[in-house]
Structure 1
Amino acid sequence: MHRSDPIRISRRFTGPDGMANGGYVAGLVAEAVEGAAKIRLHAPTPLETELHLEVEDGVVRLMDGETLLVEGEALGKPLDLDPVPHPPDADEIDVASGNFPDAASHMAPNCFVCGVARDPDDALCIFAGDSPARDAAVAAWTPHEDLAGPDGHVRARYIWAALDCPSYFGLGKTDRFALLAGFAARIERPVAPGEKLTVTGWPLDQDGRKLHAGSIIHDEDGHVVAAARALWIDAGAVDYPFNV
């Protein structure tokens, strides 16, 4: 078994207050898997805490001491997202942005991905609002330069993060608190900072408290950049203002 050097997730990458963003953490683990991966989130990942990655027999685990937080492995099968939605146009995104929750009704206003209280220079600020044309949530996203890794491309962890929250908003259940429990994603090609992208999230199916959703990133030419399938667990109705 290989054990990594200590990992400490900055408060910059918060999701709901008090825990790391699930998509970011899933992407962090997926980078150690390499390629398309499936991730299981067993417990909220704490911020500013010494964590470790353990790799054994193709399985990557994020550990807080002896506590298993997240584990991932190669996907090994298709994402099963057919039919894949078409990319939104500028008019659809413009109307959808007006449907996005404001600070008073947002489940996680400080979220690194979708928080309306965040500075766009320090967060992704992907505000996937309800589409006026279909059962989906859509948004625009242009990755910043500081999201690039040593190879000049946007790190996988940020692409996974960008696929996360739009899948929740695509469920159309913003009055319900839900936690990401499972996430599988495939990145089709490297992404350069400054690219103009769109993100779409949509519902797939529901089994009791288990809510399944898809999300996809398209480039300006309408080509698929990355896609994901998410499992959310419905934890109940939200009373605002919401605090974890």
Structure 2
Amino acid sequence: MQPVGDITIASAFNGPPSSGNGGYAAGVLSRLFEAPHIVRISAPIPLDTALAVTRQDDKLVATSGGMPILTARPGGVTLTPPAPPSMEAAQEAGQNPTYFGAGGVSTCFVCGRNRKEGEGLHIHCGRLGDKLEAAAVWTPHANFDDGHGHVRPEYVWAALDCPGGFALPEIETTYLLGEMVAAQHRPVPTGAPVIIHAWHEWSKGRKHFAGTALYAADGTLLAQADTLWIELTPEQTGNLVS
């Protein structure tokens, strides 16, 4: 094992109330690799706790107390995003948002509603008709700017996380992100509306695979992600701190 450094997920970036948002944490870890990597989340992500990152063969592993929390292995996106919805259709979908467990009225950094403006991404997706697709329009706040008019990469990863959950089959079921890989094709501007589109690819048992994408108003693909979700059992759901 070769020490690489450490990462810390501040409490402001929670998903479930007592653990880090998976997409954001994966984005923070992505600072430490150059080629595309798939990030697996093996355990709840501790907040305000330094995670030691080591290189193990071709993987980067972030641990807490010796327990693997995040593991990044080489690999890129596999999905080809479908044509995006129009800005109008995405706006309409977002006005009737669905919930998928960690969303709704939660404090999740990405999709929670109990956040002040600029303290969360406020991405609230709704279904596109009767399809297993979801969409919204998101205007990134200046607080998430990289200093050059664009959204910082870790916030792009975060924005590509939760929308996938809104496209899953059972909207009243609790899902948590299990794996994610993202690709950013162009800078995502702050202060300008972007279209968020998510779609369900397949389900097998308690595993569900979805794609997400961010588009400029003219339909230009800005970023995309493959997301693997794990459906929680009722017992696991009950263990989440509300």
> Normalising TM by the smaller chain, what interval?
0.7 to 0.9
**Equivalences for residues 69-218 of structure 1 within 5 A:** 69-75=69-75, 77=76, 79-82=77-80, 84-101=81-98, 106=103, 109-132=106-129, 134-149=131-146, 153-218=150-215
State the match for 1:54 in structure 2: 54
Alpha-carbon distance in 1 for matches of 2:87, 2:3: 47
State the match for 2:218 in structure 1: 221
Alpha-carbon distance in 2 for matches of 1:70, 1:162: 19
Do the aligned partners of residues 143 and 106 (structure 1) sit closer, same or farther apart at CA in structure 2, a change above 3 Å counting? closer
Alignment partner of 2:78: what SS?
coil
Do the aligned partners of residues 7 and 29 (structure 1) sit closer, same or farther apart at CA in structure 2, a change above 3 Å counting? closer
State the match for 1:63 in structure 2: 63
Do the aligned partners of residues 100 and 25 (structure 1) sit closer, same or farther apart at CA in structure 2, a change above 3 Å counting? same
Alpha-carbon distance in 2 for matches of 1:178, 1:199: 19
Q: CA deviation at 1:152?
A: 5.5
Alignment partner of 1:220: what SS?
coil
Alpha-carbon distance in 1 for matches of 2:50, 2:231: 29
Mean Cα displacement is larger for which, 219-228 or 44-53? 44-53
For residues 131-170 of structure 1, give each alpha carbon's deviation from its aligned partner in whole angstroms, at most 9, with x where no partner exists: 1274311011122222233665422111111010000101
State, as a whole percentage, how many aligned pairs show the same letter.
32
Alpha-carbon distance in 2 for matches of 1:170, 1:148: 27
Cα contact 2:15–2:102 (8 A) shared by 1 = no
Cα contact 1:113–1:165 (8 A) shared by 2 = yes
Do the aligned partners of residues 150 and 2 (structure 1) sit closer, same or farther apart at CA in structure 2, a change above 3 Å counting? farther
CA RMSD of aligned residues (A): 2.5
Q: CA deviation at 1:12?
A: 1.1
State TM-score, norm by structure 2: 0.87
Runs of 4+ aligned structure 1 residues displaced above 6 Å come to: none
State TM-score, norm by structure 1: 0.87
State the match for 2:10 in structure 1: 10
Alpha-carbon distance in 1 for matches of 2:103, 2:4: 37
Q: CA deviation at 1:16?
A: 1.1
Alignment partner of 2:195: what SS?
strand
State the match for 2:21 in structure 1: 21
Alignment partner of 1:32: what SS?
coil
Alpha-carbon distance in 2 for matches of 1:133, 1:88: 14
Aligned length: 238
Alpha-carbon distance in 1 for matches of 2:102, 2:29: 31
State the match for 2:36 in structure 1: 36
Unaligned runs of 5+ in 2: none
Alignment partner of 2:68: what SS?
strand
Do the aligned partners of residues 145 and 58 (structure 1) sit closer, same or farther apart at CA in structure 2, a change above 3 Å counting? farther
Unaligned runs of 5+ in 1: none
For residues 99-143 of structure 1, give each alpha carbon's deviation from its aligned partner in whole angstroms, at most 9, with x where no partner exists: 2147x9946611000001111211100111111274311011122
